Structure 1
Amino acid sequence: MGNLSTAVVRLPAVCGTVILLGSGCASHGPSTGSPASAAATYNKPDVVLCQGNKVPVYALENPRRASELAPEAAPALGGLNVEQFNPGTWLIAQESSDRVMLMNKLAAPQDSGQGDVRDYTYIVISTHSMMSEPGKPVWAVVESSTCTPTLDLGELRAGGVTLDPASPPVPESDRLALLVTESDCNSGQNAEGRVEVVNLIETESTVEVVIGVRPAIAQVASCQGNPATPFTVDLEQPLGDRAVLNAAVMPAREIAIPKVP
């Protein structure tokens, strides 16, 4: 899989942006980065993103089944194309009188091999569908894909992150060589100069890094897949035996060497 944004079926998309990370944000050069303060911390977010859709964290931590939808939203389960997903026991991620989003934890994570590891499948059911007419709303599936809960990085986008197999981490080094694959369409070009360290937290046992990619300026881009961008993160002390975690996803996931196709 060459592009992290594949397999999204969306008619139409409804997305929003809220900056959840305050301290520890910094912008760096094209190939190396470290935040202004490696001791910076960030609060646990109230909302995460699932392919651009806002999902309250409490909906994931205290899930309610689709069968518990409120009366005004319950008709969504009888909408067009809903039955094929069999979502009766899926959790409620969004709920209103005209839009319902349901998520289901995958039995095994979906790993693209480029650091894009997805934990959930989801559908969005809405009355704002192509089948609706004025005064005659029709519930229907307008979006379906897979995702993993991701921090909202504001103007930046979270990408796939792996260790660089050409420069694997060694205990005595105070630098991490990573490969970052942009999720947005970029005409098959890498993200050189647009990768940034949003946050870096070093503890005795872990190095937790949040990497973001600033979108390209180009207004039109094709989606044939993007190559990985080499990116180096500077640490305040040698790595030692600490685990390296991608903290842009929730929960944080250990960063590994990319899988060979």
Structure 2
Amino acid sequence: MSAALRRELRAASGFTLIEVLAALAIGSAVIAATAVLINNVALNFDRRTGLAGKTDQLLLAVDRLAADIGSARQVKQGDGADATAAFNGDANQMTFVTGSGAGGGRGEEVVSLQVEETDGVNHLVRRRARWQGQRTPFASVALQDPVGVIEGQVDIAFAFGSTGPDGTLSWSTTWIGQPLLPRLVRLTVRDRASGADLLPGVQFTLRADAPIGCAQPGAHADCVTGKSASPKETPAKDPPTGARR
């Protein structure tokens, strides 16, 4: 066999082993890079979907809390100068009496919002009980029907706002034994990992901000300002037909 024929046979025999191994290495690298890319896309999609779900849950929680806190009633506990509002609150909990309609038409209720931690996860739990009237000791009401409102690896805290004589707003982390309800309640929910405020600027207005005396039977509307009721003026009657003016 001539040398030219041998060269032609070697050229027609295909790739060498080194060429095949190099092609396999390149293909493996391409496949690995593609798998990493697909995994990153899937993780980002799941993360964004989870954030959207958490955002929707927070919005629903805000609506629920706004209905409860906004319907808090000015209820008297005690007599005379020692009378206080049926409202206890600190950074981790608040308990108050809601008006009819806040519990879905069940009548007046005592509502508690309590921050509880389980295995490093914080839960804002809502409990309720039927309010039996002012003679019922506020602190001894047995709350039940726990419902989770907010949960996650977040820090949850309440603050209570009131206005001073000059109209300035001040905040406190406790509201216990006060004669009136706070004017505002601020809820802070911060992500533990990033420290980001998940509900920036969320404040709930308590609509019942009148003095306790206004909650007593027979109280006049002017008790809000402390003014006494002015006698109603008797409207002048029209003269009889044909009479002189």
Q: If each structure's strand is expressed as a fraction of its own residues, which one has the higher value?
A: 1
When normalised by structure 1's length, the TM-score is 0.23
The TM-score, its normalising length taken from structure 2, stands at 0.24
Q: Which of the two has greater helix per residue?
A: 2
Q: Which has the larger radius of gyration?
A: 2
Q: Which has the higher contact order (CA 8 A, sep 6+)?
A: 1
